[in-house]
Amino acid sequence: MTTAARNAVARRAENVGAVQQNENQKPTLAQQIERMKPELARALPKHMSADRMARIALTLIRKNPELANCTTESFLGALMTCSQLGFEPGSPTQEAFIVPYKGEATFQLGYQGMVTLFYQHPMASSIKVETVREHDYFEHEEGLEEKLIHRPCKTGPRGKAIAYYSVARLVNGGRTFKVMYPTEIEERRQKLPSKNSPAWRNSFDEMAKKTVLRNHFKALPKSAELARAMANDGAVRTDADPDVIDVPPDYLNEPAPAAITAGDDQWAGENVNP
């Protein structure tokens, strides 16, 4: 074999090796998000675009490098859950978040997201969540003669939080409320492995409102979207197929959530104890 022929064979071998190396190299998370756009487009509501959701995902990764260290499957799964529910994770609306936890990306539902999804039910009229502070006027009674009166203090600082409550009204005139006190909230927080998470440390009131709302929803009609969102809250989803959101997700040592019936139209006039 001539020298030219040997050189040609060597170059061919190098080219084949480079191609095989590229084929075996795992795509980056950014590349996988780009490839996922068709599935995102199929899952998103019509008023949202796959390009925008992909940009949001990349921005999240840049802002929180811990997300880049999470498993790719869990991040894409959380992104797909946000897309199917029509939420932009980490947006100022605070409806949903993608949070790193133990090397996995978890979908976190904000209490504002719960409120948004409640309004999708045809029986929903209004719902609000409030914080009661020590200098407010507050009356709360349960039993046959339920009472909830709250007048925020208008003459000075309202002081520390002493209670949290949500009030809901339905189009048929039905209404109910749920009240929880800091001790109850703290008891629930202590049972969570994520009890010292940044969300609890930095936004205790927001997490407390979410806890109240979640308990209140046991007695309220739920849209299918709200039921799915609550079932996936704090969970790890490793399948980014738009058709598998109803498959029970995995939880990272979190207590199993209460059973949720999708599309439950039953109205309960009394509060349900947690």
Phi, psi dihedral angles at 182 (to 5 degrees): -50, -35
Give me the pLDDT at residue 248, please: 53
The SS3 of residue 99 is: strand
Q: What's the DSSP call for residue 40?
A: H
Q: Is the pLDDT of residue 225 over 90?
A: no
DSSP string, 137-172: EEEEE-SSS-EEEEE---SS---SEEEEEEEEEETT
Average model confidence (pLDDT) across the chain: 81
d(C-alpha 231, C-alpha 109), whole Å:
10
Model confidence band, residue 267 (pLDDT cutoffs 50, 70, 90): very low
Region at 241 (left for phi over 0; alpha for psi -120 to 50; beta for the rest)? beta
25 vs 63: CA distance, rounded Å: 26
pLDDT in tens, 189-217: 888 777 777 778 888 898 999 999 999 99
Dihedral sign computed on CA atoms, order 139, 142, 148, 150: positive
The percent of residues in the chain predicted with pLDDT above 70, rounded, is: 78
Give the pLDDT confidence score for residue 3 in this predicted structure.
59
Q: Report pLDDT for 107.
A: 92
Q: What is the pLDDT of residues 233-264, one digit of tens each?
A: 888 887 766 655 555 555 554 433 333 333 33
| Residue spans per domain, the chain | 124-222
How far apart are the C-alpha atoms of 207 and 198, rounded to whole Å?
11
